[in-house]
Structure 1
Amino acid sequence: MRIFNSRDNECKSPFGSVREGENIHFKITIPRYLGCSSAILALKDDLSGDTVSYSMFWCGMPDENNEQWELDLSNISTGLYWYHFSLDTKQGRKYIMRGWGGEGYFSHTNNDPRYQLLCYDKDFQTPSWLPGGIMYQIFPDRFYFSGEKKEGIYPDKKLHDEWYKIPDWRPDENGIVTNSDFFQGDLKGITEKLDYLQELGVNCIYLNPIFEAYSNHRYDTGDYEKIDPVLGTEEDFKELCSEAKKRGMYIINDGVFSHTGSDSKYFNRQGRYPQNGAYNSKNSPYYTWYKFMDWPNIYHSWWGFDTLPEVEELSYSFDRYINGENGIIRKWMKCGNSGWRLDVADELPDPFIQHIREAIKAENPDALLLGEVWEDASIKESYSSRRRFLYGKQLDSVMNYPFRDAILGFLDCGDGRDMVEMITCILENYPRPVIRCLMNLLGTHDTERVITLLAGERQNGRGREWQANTSLTPSQREYGLKRMRLASGIQFTLPGVPCIYYGDEAGVEGYKDPFNRAPFPWGKEDKGLTEWYKQLAKLRSYCSCLKDGDFKEFGSYERTMGYIRYDDTDELLCVFNAANFPIDFIVPKEFEDGEALLGTILNGRDLEIPANSCAFVKISADKKHISEEPENNEVIPEPAD
């Protein structure tokens, strides 16, 4: 008999995080021989450190050997909590603490791991248009060049006239990689490729920074009010947003608000701008934005890069400039964007993020605020305090690096059971509104290209020259393409929204920056891989449960990972074989007459899955028995011929 499991609806309902004021039902099962005289739920407030004890009620005996105690709780406030159970027994004080998979166990100490409970704001709502969709991240300089020559470009920027080459990576005469080479990808080019993105099923385009800056990555903002001339004009941006919406797509911008460029109108260290910046004069209107230790040459900068002076986000002047009624956030939303991604969200103060949210939602309540957080955002700590990202007053959702870690870990010899546990922990810790909008990524501008990670030689600290001259061999590439299908199959079927980093669907290779930011290989794509992504998009639109359905592990074992997505309409069994040999997988009984999708072969209950491949089987609501425990999850490895 199960003592307690936080993921079992008989033990705790609802699953995972709860909305403020929502009733939570707890039930524990205790052997009669312990002679339990009282049971208490001990709930610790993470912020205050205070613990409140709630007495549980004896509620009967499921059999002659066990008894059950239960409690309904509905009066907790928004916040993060930790809980365990305390029992007075004939054998003394015992505790029920958290074990692997949410399973409870008896302990003589309450210092063991406790259960987590996040309570979010009762009015928390996230955008209605994103769940069930597909995101696409574009590094604007490298996606597509419309061919239109631009005016007003800094003369010291290098403009490539050849599209199919690797970005500049060698240091200049001062030993600095300036990132000042441009392939001239532009906003009009993105607009021209909207039909291509629509074929991929994309409904949200995330643009890396597009505002005027010296570098090609544009994280060194020069002017928040102006589109970088290399990319085009404000009118080009408005046209992109307008044309995207005609196709049911939404544009979100990258908001870089923890720092600006030193070469900006706000700091102006290089003297490029006519007005005085903070570096030029203490009387500059921007002086209070920065953190000088010894003006003008010694100042706080982002991770020590003196070209990226840090901003004092809570400076009234800066806060109003970004978040005011006529501020930057609302200016670009008025031009047509549908939200923002916050760069290094964990380096921004809580009040500043709240002000960003207020500005966004005032302009459009259904707009998106997405944060860059690499860890579990529900328990993230920075600046010596627990962050409150997901309570309903700050972010709508986050970039979901933990899912990426689970997917790549599974493909890199990880045990499927451990990887599903990583995924389920996030689903248990995050609010449901957040999960609906999770940005599930495999690669970004900050990571190596996925196909290179999956099949290439490891970098192991080797420098840029080695990275520039190393690519996949034909056999590595063939293997990498198989692994890409497997990885993306997981990515597209997990809760949340898959995000394609431009060119991943075309098989683009590359190690670290700048090699992961090569131009899109138009005309040289791996068409087979691109077609696979299109089929995954159709799978997402075909299966209702992939929009906002629940998740249940099924059949994970060593090099196999399996789970079921389900809602009131349909149910999808997803199985992934990361072994280098085929397997036979026995599906649940209700799936034996299911619909095999994307090349899956189903013979009765026998699912044949080739090496490094995946399978999907769908059933409709009238065949669903998801509440029942799976009858058999045996995995039978079968050696390759």
Structure 2
Amino acid sequence: MFLEAIYHRPRKNWSYAYDGTTVHLRIRTKKDDLTEVYALAGDKYMWDQTMEYIPMTKLATDELFDYWECEATPPYRRLKYGFLLQKGQEKRWMTEYDFLTEPPANPDRLFEYPFINPDDVFQPPAWVKDAVFYQIFPERFANGDPGNDPEGALPWGSAEPTPNNFFGGDLQGVIDHLDHLSELGVNAIYFTPLFKATTNHKYDTEDYLEIDPQFGDKDTLKKLVDLCHARGIRVLLDAVFNHSGRTFAPFVDVQKNGEKSKYKDWFYIRSLPLEVVDGIPTYDTFAFEPLMPKLNTENPEVRAYLLKAAEYWIKETGIDGWRLDVANEVGHSFWREFRQVVKKANPDAYILGEVWHESSIWLEGDQFDAVMNYPFTNAVLDFFINRTADAEKFSFMLGKQLAGYPRQASEVMFNLLDSHDTARLLTQAGGDKRLMKLAAMFQFTYFGTPCIYYGDEIGMDGGHDPGCRKCMEWDETKHDKDLFTFYQTLIKLRKSHPALRTGSFKFLQAEKNGGKLAYLREDDNETIIVAVNNDRAGNTISLPVQHQQWTNLWNGQSLSAKQGQLTVKLPAYGFAILKAQQ
């Protein structure tokens, strides 16, 4: 038994309340080392009457480790626990202090989850589990009101996008095309920034309490939100609280008045005057971009202003949450207060942080509900698109991530395959729609909420920014109708089968040096197996199953297991979504 590899600690992703009555326990062991693991759990004040051994199952596996998990339901919301580790006949009991060869005589030195306090239970909004997001870059979606076009705006789609050109996209344009979104089937929109700014992307905020006149005004936004809500569509806005723009009034005041400016401490200034020396601004910025000075969110006045804006737009327009730009570079205390303010204004608001890396420190229930899941993006692209990872490696990448977060965070994680910050999915796939479809199919049958970047559903392409920010194509003769139908069908399937949204997830097969993959989504009412052939040649996947009869939800085909084995023939880059007939 390789004790050096075994790891557990109370709280975080290893020991957490999933709801008001249930605690999830996890432990890491050396890969393929242990044959059985049990949690030894009970109430410390009634140990002899409540102590039980709870079998643990493998939640996930990666290159080095196995991750085991179980659920405990403490009768009085208190939990003392340890672990029984078995390798064949060899046994060890793990306490907080030691590995023992005999069961602990009492619970004194076991791990502890002291009490399930309702305030401490991480509860992201339930609606997000059922959401399918659609990301809109407002300047490029549709021009519904030429009267508010910025000076020099080009005719729609008449030129390639550049960092500086405008085409007049606005909120009225979104209102005019809500039928497109309803027909597609999405039920949530994420807008990149709408607030007054100088650029086409609006990440250089000038006024956090005013809609950019190029897009409309507060009343237009209110009308849009109301129309969306009437269709069952939620609305998420983008908050840029890490930095402002160069035309933000307090920054303008510092530029003008220097040391005498009452706003000097709103920013992180190393020296005055504000200037750029050898490419480095004399004040902190987003990256080294002088047009985006970093805000001092520890300053009480800055904090009050930004929190007022966060609350204002929820109360004034009824939006359903915030996506937070460059969230990982803002202090944690600010986000903790932000959560309190936002959840008081709308307890059902979704708080989504932009973090490109491992994010568990933000996902403990006191800051964000979820993050933009770029580690998921990278894994999917590596396997399905770039083909730099085999099925086994892909399963390891996602397994490690599943084990790294509380389940309720995984259930509402924002799973994207492209965005305004990346090349479009079709372009990354080299124009091969078979690869694009396979990646999207996985996205829609996995944990978390999927997001479609505007235009992907009709076959739009484009390289990295600014190429990915083309004008939406509204000439239906140029739409890829097959791709649109494909996305429609994925959305309908996800909506129709709760197991695809909130059921358990388990890899059943992940081929080393190959592209054959199978995984299980299961809840109390449904058992669904997804089989994938990410290979240029046809393949057959055979899996041990307990059910005899299966239906392919994608094409209606019926399949029968023979002697406990289900065999599925798949074409090149093919898949099957198979539901067991109970």
Q: Give the one of 139, 149, 166 matched to 2:160.
A: 166
Alignment of 1:132-151 (within 5 A): 132-150=130-148
- Counterpart amino acid of 2:34? I
Question: Are 2:55 and 1:10 aligned?
Answer: yes
CA distance in 2, matches of 1:319, 1:424: 38
Residues paired across the two proteins, number: 503
Uncovered stretches (5+) of structure 2, i.e. residues with no partner: 1-31, 40-53, 59-67, 275-281, 561-565
CA distance in 2, matches of 1:140, 1:56: 64
Q: 1:77 to 1:290 in 2, by over 3 A?
A: farther
Q: 1:4 to 1:187 in 2, by over 3 A?
A: farther
Show the counterpart of 1:586.
Answer: 542
SS in 1 for 2:55: coil
CA distance in 1, matches of 2:306, 2:35: 48
Alignment of 1:552-567 (within 5 A): 552-557=506-511, 558-567=514-523
Show the counterpart of 2:63.
Answer: none
Show the counterpart of 2:326.
Answer: 344
Deviations along 1:394-429, one digit per CA (max 9) or x if unpaired, are 111111111111111112332112211211221111
Deviations along 1:170-221, one digit per CA (max 9) or x if unpaired, are xxxxxxxxx3321111111112222221222212111000101110011111
The alignment yields a C-alpha RMSD, in angstroms, of 2.9
CA distance in 1, matches of 2:80, 2:390: 36
Show the counterpart of 2:169.
Answer: 185
CA distance in 1, matches of 2:223, 2:419: 26
Deviations along 1:555-595, one digit per CA (max 9) or x if unpaired, are 22121121010111112111111100111122443454111
Q: 1:259 to 1:7 in 2, by over 3 A?
A: farther
Alignment of 1:384-533 (within 5 A): 388-411=361-384, 412-413=386-387, 414-455=389-430, 477=431, 480-523=432-475, 524-533=478-487
Alignment of 1:251-330 (within 5 A): 251-268=235-252, 276=253, 279-297=256-274, 298-323=282-307, 327-330=308-311
CA distance in 2, matches of 1:546, 1:448: 27
Residue 539 (structure 1) shift = 0.6
Identify which range, 597-606 or 235-244, moves more after superposition.
597-606
Question: Are 2:579 and 1:618 aligned?
Answer: yes
Q: 1:425 to 1:265 in 2, by over 3 A?
A: same
Deviations along 1:282-336, one digit per CA (max 9) or x if unpaired, are 454433211222223232222111111111111110001111xxx1001110111
Residue 76 (structure 1) shift = 6.1
Show the counterpart of 1:74.
Answer: 112
CA distance in 1, matches of 2:38, 2:251: 52
Residue 250 (structure 1) shift = 0.9
Q: 1:452 to 1:21 in 2, by over 3 A?
A: farther
Q: 1:434 to 1:5 in 2, by over 3 A?
A: farther
Q: Give the one of 314, 319, 344 matched to 1:333.
A: 314
CA distance in 1, matches of 2:38, 2:176: 47
CA distance in 2, matches of 1:267, 1:568: 56
CA distance in 1, matches of 2:80, 2:228: 42
Alignment of 1:226-241 (within 5 A): 226-241=210-225
Do 1:127 and 1:368's aligned partners in 2 also have CA atoms closer than 8 Å?
Answer: yes
Residue 24 (structure 1) shift = 5.4
SS in 2 for 1:584: strand
Alignment of 1:12-31 (within 5 A): 15=69, 26-30=83-87
- Counterpart amino acid of 1:209? P
Q: 1:491 to 1:591 in 2, by over 3 A?
A: farther
Show the counterpart of 1:627.
Answer: none
Residue 343 (structure 1) shift = 0.7
Identify which range, 534-543 or 299-308, moves more after superposition.
299-308
Deviations along 1:200-251, one digit per CA (max 9) or x if unpaired, are 2212111000101110011111111111111111111001111111111111
CA distance in 2, matches of 1:16, 1:181: 54
CA distance in 1, matches of 2:419, 2:87: 48
- Counterpart amino acid of 1:512? H
Identify which range, 555-564 or 236-245, moves more after superposition.
555-564
Deviations along 1:140-175, one digit per CA (max 9) or x if unpaired, are 111111144117x5x5xx31123253113xxxxxxx
TM-score by structure 2 length? Answer: 0.80
SS in 1 for 2:439: helix
Q: 1:450 to 1:56 in 2, by over 3 A?
A: farther
- Counterpart amino acid of 2:247? D
CA distance in 1, matches of 2:38, 2:193: 40
Aligned sequence identity (%): 31
Residue 57 (structure 1) shift = 4.7
Q: 1:31 to 1:608 in 2, by over 3 A?
A: closer
